[in-house]
Amino acid sequence: MARLYNPKIMGAPAGPYTHGAEVQAGERMIFFSGQVGADFEGNIPADIEGQMRNAYANIEAILTEAGMALTDLVKMTTYLVRSDDITAFREVRNDILGDFKPAHTLLVIAGLARPEFLVEIEGFASK
């Protein structure tokens, strides 16, 4: 499991994330490509909540295949296409990850690969 850092000299994180994360020597790492809001059958909900849950389910499936869990996440980057979805993003993220706070970057961008995609999450985990 990665060691997480929030130096006291810095302000507390502005959200549910950690300022830094260190992977210990000898740990396995898995990097996952951007996961969008499509479910396992390719269905894409119209709402951000549904797409977020699908993206996290996809991430969890990848980690499970590698013998890992969501609590092994080290760093994620989330791309949203609408700033209005930030509150919903935080609510779903907190519901899924709870008190676990890996390093995380949130970006609002002009668009993703397909216009119906509202979110994409990439990152890596270690164990």
Q: Tokens 């890992």 label which residue? A: 68
Decide if 4 is inside a domain: no
Decide if 121 is inside a domain: yes
Decide if 32 is inside a domain: yes
Decide if 117 is inside a domain: yes
Q: pLDDT per residue over 82-112, tens digit each?
A: 999 999 999 999 999 999 999 999 999 999 9
Q: pLDDT per residue over 16-26, tens digit each?
A: 898 999 899 99
Decide if 113 is inside a domain: yes
Measured in residues, the chain has a length of 127
Single pTM value for the model: 0.92
Decide if 6 is inside a domain: no
Token digits of residue 55: 């993206």
3-state DSSP assignment of residue 93 = helix
Decide if 61 is inside a domain: yes
**Residue bearing the bigger pLDDT, 3 or 69:** 69
Q: Tell me how far apart the alpha carbons of residues 79 and 81 are, in angstroms, rounded to a whole number.
A: 7
Residue 1 has pLDDT above 80, yes or no: no
Domain hosting 51: range is 21-126
Planar angle of CA 36, 4, 63, nearest 5 degrees = 35
Per-residue pLDDT, 14: 87
Token digits of residue 93: 């993220």
Decide if 12 is inside a domain: no
Per-residue pLDDT, 2: 86
Specify the CATH number for the domain of residue 119. 3.30.1330.40
How many structural domains is the chain composed of? 1
